A and B are shown apart, each in its own frame.
Chain A
Amino acid sequence: MSVLVYTENWDNQFKKLSFELVSYASSVAKQLNTNVVALSIGALSQEQLASLSQYGADKVLSLENPDFKTFNALQYAKAITEAAQQEKAEVLVFANNISTRAVAPRVAVKLDAGFVSGCVSLPESISPFVVTKKAFSGKAMAKVQINKGLKILSLNQNAFGLIPNAKPFVSETFNSTLATSNAKLLETRKSSGKMSVLDAEILVSGGRGLKKAENFALLEQASDIFGATATVACTKPVADLEWRPHSEHVGQTGKVVAPNLYFAVGISGAIQHLAGITSSKVIVAINTDKDAPIFEAADYGIIGDALEVMPKLNESLKTFKSKS
């Protein structure tokens, strides 16, 4: 028996999300009184693999076969399924993110497992197995019971946090063969190397109140002052107007985010936008309309024109940063 966690990598590196997943898997394993096995696919350094044991992985399985260099949902699902079978996994843990969303449903079919995606906390009971997930795009939570022996959980990013739990580093190579697939990766276009809105700890987000694309420079400045863990986001209308790329669109049909700090600048707070930000720890709203719904969702509010408030706020943040 074990809990198997699939730890994806980005250019052969793990990131905070990977450690959050292992922390979560490790806590689930504690509930089940079993071990945690992390599965990595790619040519990662021993140092990277060892970092997983800092968060409770009892064993790291490393699939380094170069055939698996390119992500392919069908092929990755086969390899992950084989690892789960080898390790007699009773629970599998995935991230609820873009690439594992393509894989985990396939694994659920292969293993005839019960799959709950978008979990936000540990199972509240293990017999029956009941876990809470986000539903209605963040407008509600649903308590879900899994009726199958094998369970798959995908965790929402930043829902659980990190729990350091150092274990001795034990690794084992794992191998698999490619399933037949006719999918061909033709091209990868990397965006400027900026942090994704899902990974950012601080989001400086703008709405139509910014009035034009150029004014997002004010938000870029704020983001730069906060540093590498911050980035700019936007609302759906702003992405539709092509002031900002769709990859930055936060909300029901865009990305559902959970940063530590969310600045809603010139955002009125349409229900579809609020759905995407309710998991933020602290929300600051800056808007001219005192009755805007964003103030009901916010912790701190300033009634004022974003174009007047932001330059002052940037100055104040700069002063604060230079002192701290």
Chain B
Amino acid sequence: MKILVCISHVPDTTAKISFVDGNKTYNKEGQQFIIGPNEELALTRAIEIAEAQAGSTITALTVGGAEVEPTLRKALAMGASDAIRIDSTPKDAMNVARQIAELAKIQNYDVILTGREAIDYNGGQVGEMIAELLGVDSVSGATEMQLESAKALVTREIDGGLEVVELQYPAVITGQKGIAKEPKIPAMRGIMMARTKPLLVQAPIALDDATEVLEHSLPKAKGACKMIPADQVDELVRLLHEEAKII
């Protein structure tokens, strides 16, 4: 099994968000960057599967500048066999997807995994775009995944339930919470080995961005919270009805 896991390099989930450069750019100052939580789980599941199937390889890939390399090294430490960084800083999901599809066309991966969405721009577009560019089937939002020798069995969340879908290879699967129980924490041995695993830097193809972020803003601050004594719940109900007019 030859698996490609596309990971995003994103601010830690606990990061307080701020912007610089006239609100155009995310303020990276002092921020910790991580593998996006959805991709981290997808990678964890891929590693579990590859460990049980001799001869499997997992390539971790990110599209980004040199600053994303520690994130790829973490993927190697978790258990990916090798890593690729496509050396480009795109503004748009379509651009990212085209960069990855270009490489995947040559590499013949059986399965391409991404996360349900990256937690910075929450686009949720790249995985399905890769599938379309390659003309292959896909399942998005997988909460369980079995990769058998001839087919994949994937459970995905739908509105009001779950669906189990069978896919032939090659296929694209975007994972979310549930696909693995807990993200794998690299062991010391894995961290040592990661230093010598191959990390290939690939030149990007020239593309325009279909979309671009002009500026950011932060949500309006809430007014002060109105406190109600714990023994006066009737007052809360009255306020929700008469003041907030919500019930």
Contacts and interface: CB of A to CB of B under 8 A. Distances in A.
Interface of A: 10, 71-74, 77, 96-99, 101-106, 108-110, 112-118, 130, 133-148, 181-191, 193-194, 196, 198, 202, 226, 239, 246-247, 249, 252-254, 256, 260-261, 270-272, 278, 281-282, 284-285, 295-304, 308-309, 312-313, 315-317, 319-320, 324
Given A147-B211, A278-B219, A302 B233 contact: yes
Q: Chain A interface mostly helix, strand, loop or mixed?
A: mixed
Interface stretch (B44-52, B64-72, B80-88, B160-168): B160-168
Interface of B: 11, 13-17, 19, 37-38, 92-94, 97, 119-129, 131-133, 137-141, 143, 153, 156-168, 171, 176-178, 208-219, 222-223, 225-231, 233-234, 236-237, 239-241, 244, 246-247
Given A260-B246, A303-B227, 17 more contacts: A10-B159, A72-B137, A74-B131, A99-B158, A105-B125, A105-B128, A117-B125, A140-B217, A141-B219, A196-B160, A282-B244, A285-B225, A299-B222, A301-B227, A308-B230, A309-B230, A316-B236
A141 B216 contact: yes
B28 to A, nearest CB: 13
Contacts of A308: 230
B228 A302 contact: yes
A146 B211 contact: yes
A116 B216 contact: no
Contact of B125 (A115, A187, A301): A115
Contacts of A135: 120-122, 213, 216
A295 B225 contact: yes
A253 B125 contact: no
Q: Chain B interface mostly helix, strand, loop or mixed?
A: mixed
Contact of A185 (B93, B165, B233, B241): B165
Contact of A191 (B124, B160, B166, B178): B160
B168 A182 contact: yes
A253 B177 contact: yes
B234 to A, nearest CB: 5
7 contacts: A99-B158, A105-B93, A117-B124, A130-B214, A135-B213, A143-B213, A246-B178
A140 B216 contact: yes
Contacts of B164: 185-189
Contacts of B131: 73-74, 106
B60 to A, nearest CB: 20
A82 to B, nearest CB: 15
A117 B122 contact: yes
Contacts of A138: 219
Contacts of B247: 202, 226, 261, 320
Nearest to B163: A188
Nearest to A298: B225
Contacts of B223: 299
A114 B122 CA distance: 16
Nearest to B244: A282
Contacts of B97: 105, 109
Contacts of A246: 143, 177-178
Given A188-B163, A301-B227, A98 B157 contact: yes
Given A185-B163, A271-B13, A247 B236 contact: no
Contacts of A182: 137, 167-168
